[in-house]
């Protein structure tokens, strides 16, 4: 009852206190205090201070009243707190009683728990002791049975007992308990030593049995013992035995190769490359046959680690012997010294010479048809180009075979775990692995993959093995690389430069065919394509990169520049004869025209030939047979870098076309225009219009003058060169033509006649060339369009309405106004 009476007495003062506080805040917020920022006079400041003092006194009174009202509330709260003391004391007494009761039970539970833990530990130790006893007993029986099986030469049973003994934990095997229990009178040594000695006896027996089986060609027996090595813990030794066996097979092949090495001089030009190919083919067949067996019994990747190193050592030994024999038999060192000491000065000499045109009979389209750059009768003393070509061909073939073999090994030994990403079937891949060495044109093994014969439990072990590229450490690979950089590159560079020099030396412009051409074109590009194709076939990315750089520099400096200098020399030679009119000027003009036509055609066709070479060599399908996928992007970039030569050909062609046009054609075009419009007038009435229609004199005169100036170029130029020449002529002709027209006057019939003349001339020119002629006549056609309009429409409206109707004006509004003023 007391507590229930205290609740309303407590809440009422609280409400009163809240009202007092609210009243205080209200009175504070409602006080008329002035804003200090508005006090601008002394009197206003004094009034504000008085008001502030009054307000402060009111606040003090209100606070005193509130404190007085809150004293009963504080006293009542103190009384309530004092009444809670006895209840807290009761709670403390009950807690002490509970603590006394539970302390005894907790002590009992702790003693029980400790006893249970002791019992569990004793039971665990008993179980461990029993397990040790069982395993030691099993170890003892396994060793006894193993010894008996070895004495009886029952190797399958011995392997089974050995595996049982090896499965025992090493801690148990080397424990003092096992050393005390296991030894017997027949086997007195410690279990670990006994097992090791028996395993060594088995290793010796298995090795001897395997070697005997391989000598007897008993594949079943050899396979039986080979797969027992890893089961008894001799995997490395088994791989070594198998590696020795495999190297023996390679040595047998090596004896045949050694016998054939001495017959090199009487064999084909690629005799040593063929020997090397036979070696690689034999190794590929061995790998294809034996890798699945090793990986199936020893785990994936063990063939590469345990067997392939030995095979590669034999391959390097035999391959290096072939390379050394090739060097000696082909006299490579002597040929290389000749090349390095031979000074090619022909190209530099040609740059300063001017060769005259001598008509010759038609010659074959390729050097293969007769005389070539390397078979010239008047070539100077020096290295024999044919011998160098044979050496380069064979060395490129050696590089190609090594590249193929390297990609084969990588696909079989390094890419074993990527079989899920391959597109070919396992059977097709195995066949390709062998056929690729038999067909020299098939040199891509990038998609090869070995058959998967590993059990699932060995995959994790295979994935953890570090992959090593065996060919990167190969002595044969290093020797091939040194031969490509130290022999192939100097010789190939000399061969290309000397061939270009000889091609210029025997250069014969052919004027019996139209368009004119020269022997230099086919000779140079036949050699260039052969050199670049041979270079790509080496499958060596550094060699390809360096040779393409050399080829670009050589073609630019010793082919393009020589032709440009030749044409400049022609101009200097005939320029003196062209200053005076007469027969000498006409003869000089014909000579320059002929010379320029020949070599401008050569430059134009050279750009087409170069584009064709880039297209052929840059075929991804062809390159994929010679380079790894990781090298493809770089190889394509190297091949496509030759496109700078295409641009260089076109730039040189454009420059020399401008030179010929400026010196021989451009001065004569103005006379064509003047002769065309001589005595011509477009101020026509009906009679004069009919006469102009009948005579068609403007079109006829233009055609006559055009053919006199340009018709001769149509037969001697290639189509592209002729189109470019016509384009230059029109560009040079149309601006003066427009100025000439803007200086004339037109009647209505005269404007109509002018339109027919322009259309007739453009139609004639369109029939003479395959380029877009009508586009160049757009401004003249728009002038004719304006002249034929009625004169009622304002020029600005005419221009805007034509734009709105879709006409793309080439004339400005001011020009339209000027043309409209020409109408009478």
pLDDT tens-digit series, residues 725-767: 999 999 999 999 999 999 999 999 999 999 999 999 999 999 8
d(CA 578, CA 588): 6
Tell me the angle at which helices 719-742 and 643-660 cross, rounded to the nearest 10 degrees.
50
More confident residue, 363 or 604: 604
Per DSSP, the three-state class of 517 is strand
- Tell me which residue has tokens 């001011």: 814
pLDDT of residue 89: 81
pLDDT of residue 465: 41
Polymer length in residues for the chain: 824
d(CA 372, CA 393): 17
**Rounded mean pLDDT of 27-46?**
72
- Tell me which residue has tokens 């590229």: 469
Q: Is the pLDDT of residue 326 over 60?
A: yes
**Mean pLDDT, the chain, integer:** 79
More confident residue, 698 or 109: 698
Burial of 790 (0-12, 13-18, 19+ CB in 10 A): exposed
**Do residues 206 and 228 lie in contact, with contact meaning Cβ atoms separated by under 8 Å?**
yes
**Do residues 532 and 558 lie in contact, with contact meaning Cβ atoms separated by under 8 Å?**
no
252-261, 327-336, 516-525: segment of lowest average pLDDT: 252-261
d(CA 451, CA 39): 103
Q: Note the helical H segments in 618-662.
A: 620-623, 629-640, 643-660
Which element (helix H / strand E) includes 480? helix 475-483
Q: Report which listed range, 22-36, 160-174, 408-422, 556-570, is most confident.
A: 556-570
Q: DSSP state, 33?
A: P
Q: Is the pLDDT of residue 503 over 60?
A: yes
**Rounded mean pLDDT of 407-420?**
67
Domain range 677-820, CATH class: mainly alpha
Torsion of the alpha carbons at 703, 706, 711 and 714, rounded to the nearest 10: -100
Tokens of 202: 């088995």
The verdict on pTM exceeding 0.95 is: no
- Tell me which residue has tokens 């297209």: 615
More confident residue, 482 or 144: 482
d(CA 294, CA 454): 10
pLDDT of residue 401: 93
pLDDT digits (tens, 9 = 90+) for 686-718: 999 999 889 889 999 999 999 988 888 888 999
**Do residues 77 and 6 lie in contact, with contact meaning Cβ atoms separated by under 8 Å?**
no
What per-residue string of b and e applies to 188-214 under the rule 16 or more CB within 10 Å gives b?
A: eebbeebbeebbeebbebbbebbbebb
Q: Angle at Cα 721 formed by Cα 716 and Cα 724, nearest 5°? A: 130
Q: Closest by alpha carbon to 529, among 604, 603, 606?
A: 606
**Do residues 143 and 194 lie in contact, with contact meaning Cβ atoms separated by under 8 Å?**
yes
pLDDT band at 809 (very low <50, low <70, confident <90, very high): confident
pLDDT of residue 577: 55
More confident residue, 531 or 372: 531
pLDDT band at 356 (very low <50, low <70, confident <90, very high): very low
Per DSSP, the three-state class of 771 is coil
Q: DSSP state, 579?
A: S
43: Cα separation from own chain's centroid:
93
Q: Where in the chain is the domain with CATH 1.20.58.1970?
A: 677-820
pLDDT of residue 791: 63
């Amino acid at each position: 009852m007391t507590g229930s009476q205290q609740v309303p007495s407590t809440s009422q003062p609280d409400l009163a206190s809240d009202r007092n506080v609210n009243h205080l805040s209200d009175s504070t917020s409602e006080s008329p205090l002035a804003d200090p920022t508005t006090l601008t006079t002394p009197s206003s400041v004094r009034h504000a201070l008085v008001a502030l003092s009054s307000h402060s006194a009111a606040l003090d009174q209100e606070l005193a009243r509130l404190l007085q009202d809150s004293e009963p509330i504080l006293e009542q709260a103190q009384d309530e707190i004092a009444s809670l003391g006895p209840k807290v004391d009761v709670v403390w007494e009950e807690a002490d009683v509970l603590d006394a009761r539970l302390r005894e039970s907790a002590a009992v539970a702790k003693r029980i728990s400790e006893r249970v833990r002791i019992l569990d530990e004793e039971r665990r130790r008993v179980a461990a002791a029993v397990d040790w006893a069982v395993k030691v007993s099993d170890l003892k029986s396994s060793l006894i049975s193993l010894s008996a099986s070895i004495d009886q030469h029952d190797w399958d049973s011995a392997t089974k007992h050995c595996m049982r003994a090896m499965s025992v934990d090493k801690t148990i095997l080397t424990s003092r308990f096992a050393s005390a229990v296991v030894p017997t009178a027949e086997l007195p040594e410690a279990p670990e030593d006994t097992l090791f000695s028996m395993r060594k006896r088995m290793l010796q027996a298995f090795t001897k049995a395997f070697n005997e089986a391989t000598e007897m060609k008993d594949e079943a027996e050899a396979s039986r013992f080979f797969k027992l090595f890893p089961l008894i813990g001799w995997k490395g030794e088994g791989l070594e035995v198998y590696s020795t066996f495999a190297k023996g097979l390679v040595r047998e092949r090596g004896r045949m190769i050694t016998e054939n090495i001495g017959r090199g001089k009487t064999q084909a030009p690629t005799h040593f490359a063929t020997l090397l190919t036979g070696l690689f083919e034999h190794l590929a067949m061995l790998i294809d046959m034996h890798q699945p067996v090793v990986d199936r019994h020893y785990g994936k990747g063990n063939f590469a680690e345990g067997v392939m190193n030995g095979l590669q050592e034999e391959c390097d030994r035999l391959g290096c012997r072939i390379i050394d024999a090739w060097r000696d038999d082909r006299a490579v060192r002597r040929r290389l010294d000749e090349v390095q000491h031979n000074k090619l000065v022909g190209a530099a000499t040609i740059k300063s010479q001017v060769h005259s045109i001598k008509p010759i009979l038609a010659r074959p389209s390729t050097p293969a048809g007769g005389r070539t750059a390397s078979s010239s009768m008047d070539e100077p003393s020096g290295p024999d180009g044919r011998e160098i070509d044979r050496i380069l061909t064979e060395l490129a073939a050696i590089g190609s075979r090594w590249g193929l073999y390297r990609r084969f090994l990588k696909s079989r030994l390094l890419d074993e775990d990527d079989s899920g990403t391959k597109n070919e079937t396992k059977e097709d891949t195995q066949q390709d692995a062998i056929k690729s060495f038999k067909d020299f044109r098939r040199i891509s093994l990038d998609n090869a993959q070995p058959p998967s014969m590993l059990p699932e439990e060995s995959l994790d072990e295979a994935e953890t093995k570090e992959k090593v590229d065996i060919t990167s450490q190969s002595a044969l690979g290093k020797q091939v690389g040194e031969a490509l950089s130290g022999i192939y590159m100097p010789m190939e560079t000399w061969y290309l430069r000397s061939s270009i020099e000889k091609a210029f030396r025997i250069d014969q412009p052919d004027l019996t065919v139209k368009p004119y051409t020269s022997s230099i074109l086919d000779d140079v590009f036949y050699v260039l394509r052969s050199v670049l194709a041979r270079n790509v076939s080496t499958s060596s990315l550094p060699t390809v990169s360096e040779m393409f750089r050399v080829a670009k520099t050589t073609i630019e400096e010793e082919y393009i520049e020589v032709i440009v200098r030749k044409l400049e020399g022609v101009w200097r030679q005939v320029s003196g004869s062209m200053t005076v009119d007469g027969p000498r000027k006409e003869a000089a003009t014909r000579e320059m025209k002929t010379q320029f036509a020949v070599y401008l055609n050569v430059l134009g066709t050279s750009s087409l030939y170069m584009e064709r070479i880039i297209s052929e060599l840059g075929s991804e399908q062809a390159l994929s047979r010679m380079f790894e996928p990781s090298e493809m992007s770089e190889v394509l970039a190297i091949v496509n870098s030759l496109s700078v030569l295409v641009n260089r050909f076109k730039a040189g062609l454009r420059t020399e076309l401008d030179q010929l046009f400026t010196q021989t054609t451009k001065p004569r075009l103005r006379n064509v225009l003047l002769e065309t419009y001589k005595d011509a007038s477009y101020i026509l009435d009906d009679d004069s219009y009919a006469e102009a229609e009948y005579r068609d004199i403007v079109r006829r005169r233009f055609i006559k003058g055009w053919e006199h100036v340009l018709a001769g170029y149509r037969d001697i130029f290639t189509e592209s060169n002729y189109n470019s020449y016509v384009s230059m002529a029109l560009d040079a002709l149309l601006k003066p033509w427009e100025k000439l027209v803007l200086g004339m006057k037109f009647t209505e019939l005269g404007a109509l006649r002018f339109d027919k003349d322009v259309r007739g001339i453009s139609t004639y020119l369109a029939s003479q060339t395959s380029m877009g002629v009508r586009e160049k006549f757009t401004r003249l056609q728009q002038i004719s369009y304006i002249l034929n309009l009625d004169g009622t429409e304002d020029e600005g409206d005419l221009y805007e309405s034509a734009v709105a109707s879709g006409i793309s004006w080439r004339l400005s509004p001011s020009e339209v106004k000027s043309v409209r003023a020409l109408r009478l």
